[in-house]
Amino acid sequence: MSDPAADAAAQERLMSGELWDTFCDLLRDAGREILRPGMDDPLDVAEGYRMLTRLLRGALEGSLEWGDPLRPHLICTCHETIKIVAENPDNLYLGSAISGHHGYRLWGTRGEAQWLSFNTFARGGFGGGGPGVGATLHEREMVLDDDGRFELYVTPERQGPNWLRLDPEASSLVIRQTFRHKGSDQAAELHIERLDDDGTPPEPLDAARLEQSLVYAGFYLQGITSIGARWAERNREHPNQFIDVQLDDTRAFADPQIIWHQAYFELEPGEALRIEFEPPDCDYWMIALHNHWMETLDYRYHRCVLNSATATVDPDGSVTCIVSPTDPGVANWLDTAGHLHGVVGVRWVGSDVADLLPRTTVVPSRRP
């Protein structure tokens, strides 16, 4: 229920310009995160400011344009040009605003993803606060027909053979499709509807909803930028080593079947980082490069990601990757796209996966 006094106050802020000034102040504060202590590389700073423009586009799409839980719609705001804290390039991320006071139905086809999961989040979700992942459902727990079609209910009480619990505080739904060959593997065809939707169109945009969306976007930029920077800085204290420095600011928002580790690579000209591991038994694994802000490097033009289907595996089951700005002439080269420092991350995905940390050695950038 709307509060008439609060609505009137928001309208006054709108008409006076205070609403917009507050939004601009939040953007300025987010920009200050880019000039954190130690940020002396122009490439890092340029990529940081570009990241803010990307996050702003995604935040406004998700909160202002498609943020109505009464009219859910699956959108993708994490992709080639909007990257959110070590996103997986092999994933197709879809999300929708939802409300714990309603129920929803999803339906469609399974597609050819190697791995598929559904997560709910409370309050602002990742980067916007909240307790982290709420309910989780994985495709292997679901009932599909012979053509890969399914129907999934997201409701407070169990409904149908495929059910995802909807908690009272739930505010968003996230779907991950993980592909071995993204772009050629067929994506799922998915739809969502609110169960009690009577077709009533939304009311015209008012000051309160505009203010809520803009303020959320401003704080979201600050939150995501700070999370990525703090995470990278913790890794940078142990350069060229895989260690687990995740805290609850990121760990709480991970899908329970995803194990994620990272190392901060820091190279001198002429150096490369050799990474060796024996992949655990899992549904899928990957390794990818990210910049200082934990954005995946531009995989449209550089080979900065490999996975369990695209990497070359040695006869003994081991994998050796070389992180280098120049091609060292090996099968599993990860191109740093001109970066001498950044983050390299690995994921092991599946149920009951035996965890491990890759081994690293700094070597000459020529063929080792």
CATH code at 250? 2.60.120.600
Q: Is 16 a domain residue?
A: no
**Tally of domains within the chain:** 1
Q: What is the pLDDT of residue 366?
A: 74
Scanning the structure block, which residue is given the tokens 């995470």?
A: 231
pLDDT 10s digits, 266-294: 999 999 999 999 999 999 999 999 999 99
Q: Is 51 a domain residue?
A: no
Of all residues in the chain, what percent are helix, strand and coil, respectively (each to 5)?
25, 30, 45
Q: Is 209 a domain residue?
A: no
Query: What is the C-alpha separation between 73 and 56, in angstroms, rounded?
Result: 19
pLDDT beyond 70 at 130: no
Predicted TM-score (pTM) above 0.85? yes
Laid out side by side, the sheet with 91-97 consists of: 91-97, 170-178, 115-122, 133-138
Nearest alpha-carbon partner for 209 in 285, 315, 97: 97
Query: What is the C-alpha separation between 152 and 108, in angstroms, rounded?
Result: 9
Q: Is 284 a domain residue?
A: yes
Q: Is 151 a domain residue?
A: no
Q: Is 289 a domain residue?
A: yes
Query: What is the C-alpha separation between 243 and 170, in angstroms, rounded?
Result: 32
Nearest alpha-carbon partner for 267 in 329, 331, 335: 335
Q: What is the mean pLDDT of residues 36-58?
A: 96
Domain ranges, residue 322: 238-364
Q: Exposed, middle or buried, 352 (CB in 10 Å: 0-12/13-18/19+)?
A: exposed
